[in-house]
């Protein structure tokens, strides 16, 4: 099939080319993000491969359909950026990579928790400048602390498994209970009880209308004062402005982010020579107790290999059988 790949970085090309050996799809790589302006680059492609911050709204889908695109293959798990109803109406099938390495994101989550707690980001800079003072670097034992996991799907389960190894007490909120978590001794509680009891809250639910700004002024008022908040899921699950107020008031003790509400204009690009125009993001960068990574939770060799293999397997199945292996159906937004 002819596949137009958007938001391509050299590493995407490397893994997709390797996965295409023996499959012979015709891949065209575009560095540009998919938007209404760049959609015509797809030309006569049968399928489009998109990533987390590509715009796959009704306008873009209409442009792609006009050009003959029949499949949007997302090379990520989340599909919150796709207008599934519009895709269905236009006869475009949507596929995603539901699981590629929950370990990658779970391990990155734990890296953020450990680094924030023991102030590794600050210690690294201090030691390089010959400052070996410990003031301001005081952390706490993770052992016996209470961690609240919001969403115990594939990633949340692995986070629970790792943190149980640290001897944490684990609480969870999820409409569906995970047998793996129950076996680990995770206690399912409602969201308010999780917030009020947890020293650390980590988010692993998808972004849906129900979870949009799930952490906002109201929920923060019910949280344990000084708790650590970690979000490696999707930026808009957190109301960033409310969390900034929480950081200023001390209700949020520390914040670890791998995702950000408005990351589409920032992440995955080298903007080191540009003026930062996002004042909310700029404010986040001023806090010593905030640690941000640029959506790199998924970025391990194993995950990249699996993403490329699964994406092209979906494209192959769609070409052969008219259905990808991992279709996202419109019912999923209900």
Q: Site residues for ligand NAI, window 151-170 (CB under 6 A)?
A: 151-156
Nearer to ligand NAI, 155 or 215 (CB): 155
Residues 180, 35: Cα–Cα separation, whole Å: 40
Find the angle CA(171)-CA(177)-CA(181) to the nearest 5 degrees. 55
Report how many helices (DSSP H) and strands (DSSP E) the chain contains, helices first.
12, 12
Q: What is the DSSP pairing of strand 26-29 with strand 252-257? A: unpaired
Q: Site residues for ligand NAI, window 227-266 (CB under 6 A)?
A: 232-234, 258-259
| CB of 77 vs ligand NAI, minimal distance in Å | 4
For ligand NAI, the binding residue among 27, 48, 201, 205 (CB under 6 A) is: 205
Residues 100, 92: Cα–Cα separation, whole Å: 24
Nearer to ligand NAI, 42 or 200 (CB): 200
Nearer to ligand NAI, 22 or 175 (CB): 175
Residues 246, 7: Cα–Cα separation, whole Å: 34
Residues 156, 167: Cα–Cα separation, whole Å: 16
Task: Indicate whether 211 belongs to the interface with ligand NAI (CB under 6 A).
Answer: yes
The residue number with the shortest CB distance to ligand NAI is 153
Residues 288, 308: Cα–Cα separation, whole Å: 37
| CB of 229 vs ligand NAI, minimal distance in Å | 15
Candidate segments 25-33, 138-146, 181-189, 226-234, binder of ligand NAI by CB under 6 A: 226-234
Query: How many Å from the N-terminal Cα to the C-terminal Cα in the chain?
Result: 31
Rounded (10°) angle between helices 102-118 and 154-165: 50
Task: Indicate whether 186 belongs to the interface with ligand NAI (CB under 6 A).
Answer: no
From the list 92, 117, 105, 116, the residue with the least C-alpha distance to 52 is 105
| CB of 97 vs ligand NAI, minimal distance in Å | 9
Nearer to ligand NAI, 42 or 77 (CB): 77
Nearer to ligand NAI, 1 or 52 (CB): 52
Helix (H, G, I), strand (E, B), or coil: what is residue 319? helix
Q: List the catalytic residues.
A: 234, 263, 295
Give the helix/strand (H/E) hosting 215.
none
In order, the DSSP letters of 124-148 are HHHHHTT----TT------TT-EEE
Task: Indicate whether 171 belongs to the interface with ligand NAI (CB under 6 A).
Answer: no
Residues 173, 204: Cα–Cα separation, whole Å: 10
Candidate segments 18-26, 97-105, 118-126, 321-329, binder of ligand NAI by CB under 6 A: 97-105
For ligand NAI, the binding residue among 28, 59, 78, 122 (CB under 6 A) is: 78
| CB of 319 vs ligand NAI, minimal distance in Å | 26
Candidate segments 83-91, 117-125, 292-300, 316-324, binder of ligand NAI by CB under 6 A: 292-300
Find the angle CA(158)-CA(288)-CA(149) to the nearest 5 degrees. 20
Nearer to ligand NAI, 155 or 228 (CB): 155
Residues that bind ligand NAI (CB under 6 A): 77-78, 99, 102, 105, 150-156, 173-176, 204-207, 210-211, 232-234, 258-259, 295, 297-298
């Amino acid at each position: 099939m002819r596949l137009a790949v958007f938001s391509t970085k050299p590493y995407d090309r490397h893994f997709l080319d390797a996965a295409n050996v023996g499959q012979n799809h015709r891949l065209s790589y575009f560095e540009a993000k998919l938007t209404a302006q760049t959609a015509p680059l797809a030309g006569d492609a049968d399928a489009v491969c998109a990533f987390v911050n590509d715009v796959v709204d009704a306008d873009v889908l209409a442009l792609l359909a006009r050009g003959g695109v029949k499949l949007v293959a997302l090379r990520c798990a989340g599909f919150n950026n796709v207008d599934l109803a519009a895709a269905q109406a236009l006869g475009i099938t949507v596929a995603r990579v539901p699981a590629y390495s929950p370990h990658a994101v779970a391990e990155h989550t734990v890296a953020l928790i450990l680094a924030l707690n023991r102030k590794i980001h600050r210690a690294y800079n201090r030691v390089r400048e010959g400052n070996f003072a410990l003031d301001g670097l005081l952390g706490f034992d993770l052992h016996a602390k209470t961690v609240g996991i919001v969403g115990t799907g594939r990633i949340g389960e692995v986070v629970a498994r790792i943190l149980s190894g640290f001897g944490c007490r684990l609480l969870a909120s999820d409409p569906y209970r995970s047998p793996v978590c129950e076996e680990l001794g995770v206690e399912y509680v409602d969201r308010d009880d999780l917030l009020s009891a947890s020293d650390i809250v980590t988010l692993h639910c998808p972004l849906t209308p129900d979870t949009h700004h799930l952490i906002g002024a109201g929920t923060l008022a019910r949280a344990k004062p000084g708790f650590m908040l970690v979000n490696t899921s999707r930026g808009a699950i957190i109301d960033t402005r409310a969390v900034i107020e929480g950081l200023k008031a001390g209700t949020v003790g520390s914040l670890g982010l791998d995702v950000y509400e408005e990351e589409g204009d920032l992440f995955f690009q080298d903007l080191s020579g540009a003026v930062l125009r996002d004042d909310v993001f700029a404010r986040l960068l001023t806090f010593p107790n905030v640690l941000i990574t640029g959506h790199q939770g998924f970025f391990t060799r194993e995950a990249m290999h699996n993403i490329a293999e699964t994406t092209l397997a979906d494209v192959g199945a769609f070409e052969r059988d008219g259905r990808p292996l991992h279709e996202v159906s419109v019912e999923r937004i209900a």
